[in-house]
Every structure is written in C-alpha cells, then in structure tokens.
Chains A and B, each alone.
Chain A
C-alpha cells in the first residue's frame, strides 16, 4: 500500500515535533540524571529488590486472573445477548476512567476488614485482604482487568463468527474450533489486552496504596517504593528503580508489537 504523499506543512510538523519532544525529554532526564556508577548497588539493595520482585509477582498474578476471569466476561459481553448487558459493561469497565484512589476506597468498603464482604470473611476466617500481598493483587486487578476485557471484547466482536460455523461443518468439535479458529483469529487483541493489563498492573499506585498500604516486602511495589524514595530525598534510588521499569516496559512493548504484527 502506498499512501498519498502530503505536502510538507510546517505548522503540523512543528506541533508534532513539540509533541514528540514532550515525551522524549522526561526519558532523557531519567537517563542523564541516573546514578550510573552506583546503579547496581542501588538496585541490588534488598528494599529495591523486594519492591521489584513484588511488582513482578503481583502484576503476573493480576494478568493471570485477568485471563481466567476476564476472558469469560469479555466473551459474554461480545457474544451473548442478555438484559442489562450495557449496565454490566459500564460497571465492569468503569475503573478505566475512575481515579485509582477512588477504586482503593471502594475496595476497602467492599473487601476491607469492616467491608461488605470483608467483615463476614474476617469473622469467619480471621483473614483480611488489606495490607497483604493478595490485597495488592486485588487492587491491581480492579484497575487493570477492564483494559483486558474491553480489548478482548472488541477483538471477539470484530471476528466473523460464521468462520466458526464453517469449522463445525467441517467436523471440528467446539474445543477444536476454539483452538484452531477462534484463538488464532483473536490472538492480536488477546495479546494486546494482556500486555495492556499487565503494564497497567505494573504501574498501579493509587488503588494499591489506598487498599493495601505501603508495607516494604509485603505490599510496597516498585511505584510505591519510587514515590517513597523520591519524597524522602533518596532521589538516586527513585531514578534507578524508574529506569528499570522503563527498560522492562519498553522491551515488552517492542516485543509484543512485532509478534502481534506477525499474527
């Protein structure tokens, strides 16, 4: 495909350059101000390693939960007609536009020790989600899963379901149809939704700190550690951890982009 070549427009080019630089400068700032000489020492401090490790574990668990529970939800929204569907879609994707800290408060009121569900759970088992690592995963899921659901739903919706009819008429069982026709066709949106949810979970701050608190080693993820370091004057630590997140995010974005193009 060859696009029509447009004449060079200095106004558009100028605005586009400003826009691009707006994003490039902060990253440059991170790189130039990074404490390169003490980098390994800062990152390998046990507090930083704990935060990075927790971020990894919690974000992967969130992604797994999104796949397990978000897939059926997306399927229902895309394929099944039922009353109140618009309402269900609206409520389950609301966290995308909700300030995360509001999500954290709402989570406390539902799953906190005195919450709607949290109170009976606590009195029955003595377990309560806030200030635990599972609490971090719950907070991240609340914020990140809608991104997965909405991306997958649009993928399922844009797929021609008559291809599944064709596969069944060729003798394929429902499972085979799913594996060999549906899955390959929705693969790009499945991958995109997974990456979106994962990266949103990695960066989650507001809901996590509100619902799960900031306990080093238990609920303090990298974004929380960065914020605490920054506000307590340990700027080198904040920059070093930030750089790690930038590099990992960049690698994932580039890697999945190539893969979804090939699919």
Chain B
C-alpha cells in the first residue's frame, strides 16, 4: 500500500515499465481499477468491490504529466486558469490567480505565450502551476523533471522543491531518477515488477538498498548471503570476511571506491582477508573516476583513477585481483 500525508512528498521510484505512471493515472481516475481501493482524506474515490467510483473531474486531484500536455491553443495564463474555470471560479478571479501562480514560479513573462513558443523549462513550470493552482488535496507529478535538459534541471528542481514545500497537498511523484527522489521526497517507495520492493526515507533506502535496481541507482555493490560470525557465505557463491560478527541472512553494500584492483595477487596488502580474482568486465567513465567491473565470485565494481586504467592496462582485459577491507563491508538485515 502506498500512502501519503498532507504536506508530504512521496516519491515512487522504479524502472521504466514498472507501472508507476499507471498508478498516477489510476489515482486521478483516468484509468479504471479492477480491484483495490483509492481513498483520499477519508473519502473513497474508487473501490470496484463496492462499485464506488468518483469521476476524474470530481476528484480534488491535480496531475502534472510527464510531457506536460499543455493546451496548445491556449496561452500560459489560460492554461493555468483552465482548472479554476472548470471548477466554477469567476473568469477574472481565475486569471488573477493563474497570473499569480505563474509569477511565483518565475514564468510571469510567458503568461501571454502559447506553449509552442515556450522553452521546455518554461512549459514545465506552467504545467506545474496548472496542476497546483486549484489547490488539490492530492498532487500527482509524473516524472516532473525527466523531459528537461541537464542545464535547466537543477534550477527547475530547486523551484519545484520550493513549490512542494508550500503545498498543503499530499504530493505523489513518480520518477526513475534517484537524485529527484532524494532532493524532493520525504519518503520513497521503490516499485519493481508492479509491486513495492522497498520503502522508507531517501536516506534509509539509499543507505540500505534491498534490490540490485536500487543499489545500481545509488552506485554501490550489493551482496546477499548467510553470515556465521565474521564469515559471509554469499548466495551466488564466494565468501567474504566482515568486521562485525553476524548471523543469518544479511545484505551488505560495498562502495566501489573501497574496492582495490591489482594485476598481481596483492601479497603485501595490509589485510588479505578478502582477495579474489576475476576478469576485466565493463569499464565506465563516471565524471573524473573510472568504474571497472571485475567478473569473479562475487562480481564486483571498483572505482579507480584514469591514471590507474593506463597503469593496469585495463583496455587489454584479462585477469585482475579485487580486494576489500572487512570494515568496508557494511551489512544490514534484509
């Protein structure tokens, strides 16, 4: 069950095709439910088992679409005023409130322009204003920043953050970008294969990822296994030594920068507890660092400097040795 309180921002994070947008369309009433229940502020909006269904236009919900869906034949201010007009607000009042909403989001200068004559960032903020101006009890944001290029994203993210802080709605945002979830959400739900894989605050989820999907987004190695004392027998084969004494099923993360790679067996390593060989896998440039996957038991990703790539002659492939200090393995219950 996904829930959100008033004034809270909840992010639904998941890979494309996991059913995130479908959840938003269902909450807005644009998609009929087969089962389950949608409840808002004590009112049931939809419950097929009891033949209850509130029409989309009767729901106190605002929805911002990934591709904005601004009305091409209306100006920005008319787009924003649309929801107010449809809900019976007087024309002049609606336009004033729409203009004020555009002002707050810093796009007052495009008030008279049609969407076709606005930049992507301007359209995004007009769409945001349109979804929020009716003061919905539930505000739904579908990938609010996905369509923006990197240069405007940071700016708009800050504005969206400010706007959401002011909002008294329960805010539900769908995203596949971990950074958006961390920057904007109070709580997050990880959606995988149509179900909830993990939930918690962004800090909790990123510190203790429970699935490979989340671990990959955070950019850490995730291993799963059975602990007996300081020995961790991994599910996929292989064995690691941990600093803490543990027992039972555990998950553990290992940051790539805590993994060292060498061409020869590191005999002189301070602690040679976790040393194992593997083949050079994918090599990716991440900013000014390079990530190297070492295909072994277990397979692990290490972070090295570009200089090390040359020194180790990684382009040639072949065998590497990976080593990890026991204290760098951070275990937690699954």
Chain A interface residues (CB < 8 Å from chain B): 160, 162-163, 165-173, 176, 180-181, 184-185, 263
Q: Contacts of B130 on A, CB cut-off 8 Å?
A: 170
Q: Give 30 A-B contacts (CB < 8 Å), ordered by A residue.
A: A160-B69, A162-B69, A165-B25, A165-B30, A165-B56, A165-B69, A166-B63, A166-B69, A167-B71, A167-B82, A168-B29, A168-B56, A168-B57, A169-B28, A169-B29, A169-B56, A170-B62, A170-B82, A170-B83, A170-B86, A171-B83, A171-B86, A171-B87, A172-B57, A172-B82, A173-B57, A173-B86, A181-B71, A185-B72, A185-B73
Return the 9 tightest CB-CB contacts between A and B, nearest first: A170-B83, A172-B86, A166-B69, A171-B86, A169-B63, A168-B56, A171-B87, A184-B73, A169-B28
Q: Which residue of B lies closest to A172 (CB)?
A: B86
Nearest-Cβ distance from residue A158 to partner chain B, whole angstroms: 12
Nearest-Cβ distance from residue B130 to partner chain A, whole angstroms: 7
B86 near A167 with CB under 8 A, answer: yes
Q: Which residues 17-32 in B have Cβ within 8 Å of A in the complex?
A: 25, 28-30
Q: Given A166-B63, A166-B65, A176-B86, do A171 and B30 touch, yes or no (CB 8 Å)?
A: no
Q: Contacts of A176 on B, CB cut-off 8 Å?
A: 86
Give CA–CA (A167, B28) in the complex, Å: 12
Q: Which residue of A lies closest to B60 (CB)?
A: A171
B61 contacts partner chain A, Cβ-Cβ < 8 Å: yes
B69 near A171 with CB under 8 A, answer: no
Give CA–CA (A163, B87) in the complex, Å: 17
Q: Contacts of A163 on B, CB cut-off 8 Å?
A: 69, 71-72
A169 near B62 with CB under 8 A, answer: yes
B123 contacts partner chain A, Cβ-Cβ < 8 Å: no
Q: Contacts of B25 on A, CB cut-off 8 Å?
A: 165
Q: Which residue of B lies closest to A180 (CB)?
A: B82
Give CA–CA (A160, B70) in the complex, Å: 11
A168 near B71 with CB under 8 A, answer: no
Q: Contacts of A173 on B, CB cut-off 8 Å?
A: 57, 86
Nearest-Cβ distance from residue A217 to partner chain B, whole angstroms: 45
Interface residues on B, range: 20 to 34
Chain B interface residues (CB < 8 Å from chain A): 25, 28-30, 55-58, 61-63, 65, 69, 71-73, 82-83, 86-87, 130, 134
Q: Which residue of B lies closest to A181 (CB)?
A: B71
Number of residue pairs A-B, CB distance < 8 angstroms: 56
Give CA–CA (A184, B72) in the complex, Å: 10
Q: Contacts of B28 on A, CB cut-off 8 Å?
A: 169
Q: Contacts of A165 on B, CB cut-off 8 Å?
A: 25, 30, 56, 69
Q: Contacts of A171 on B, CB cut-off 8 Å?
A: 57-58, 83, 86-87, 134
Q: Contacts of B83 on A, CB cut-off 8 Å?
A: 170-172
Q: Which of A160, A169, A180, A181 has the most CB of B within 10 A?
A: A169
Give CA–CA (A165, B83) in the complex, Å: 12
Q: A169-B56, A170-B134, A172-B57 are in contact. List 9 more A-B contacts (CB 8 A).
A: A165-B25, A165-B69, A166-B69, A168-B57, A169-B29, A169-B62, A170-B83, A170-B86, A172-B86
Give CA–CA (A136, B235) in the complex, Å: 84
Q: Which residue of A lies closest to B58 (CB)?
A: A171
Q: Which of A160, A170, A173, A180 has the most CB of B within 10 A?
A: A170
Nearest-Cβ distance from residue A162 to partner chain B, whole angstroms: 6
Q: Contacts of B55 on A, CB cut-off 8 Å?
A: 168
Q: Which residue of B lies closest to A185 (CB)?
A: B73
Nearest-Cβ distance from residue B152 to partner chain A, whole angstroms: 22
Nearest-Cβ distance from residue B111 to partner chain A, whole angstroms: 18
Nearest-Cβ distance from residue B65 to partner chain A, whole angstroms: 6
Q: Contacts of A180 on B, CB cut-off 8 Å?
A: 82
Nearest-Cβ distance from residue A168 to partner chain B, whole angstroms: 4
Of A162, A172, A185, the contact of B65 (CB 8 Å cutoff): A162
Q: Which residue of B lies closest to A184 (CB)?
A: B73
Nearest-Cβ distance from residue B122 to partner chain A, whole angstroms: 17
Q: Contacts of A181 on B, CB cut-off 8 Å?
A: 71
Q: Which of A167, A168, A173 has the most CB of B within 10 A?
A: A168
Give CA–CA (A170, B61) in the complex, Å: 8
B30 near A169 with CB under 8 A, answer: yes
Nearest-Cβ distance from residue B12 to partner chain A, whole angstroms: 17
Q: Contacts of B56 on A, CB cut-off 8 Å?
A: 165, 168-169
Nearest-Cβ distance from residue B34 to partner chain A, whole angstroms: 19
Q: Which residue of A lies closest to B30 (CB)?
A: A165
Q: Contacts of A263 on B, CB cut-off 8 Å?
A: 73
Give CA–CA (A119, B191) in the complex, Å: 67
Nearest-Cβ distance from residue A83 to partner chain B, whole angstroms: 22
Give CA–CA (A172, B55) in the complex, Å: 10
Nearest-Cβ distance from residue A131 to partner chain B, whole angstroms: 47
Q: Which residue of B lies closest to A168 (CB)?
A: B56
Give CA–CA (A166, B66) in the complex, Å: 11
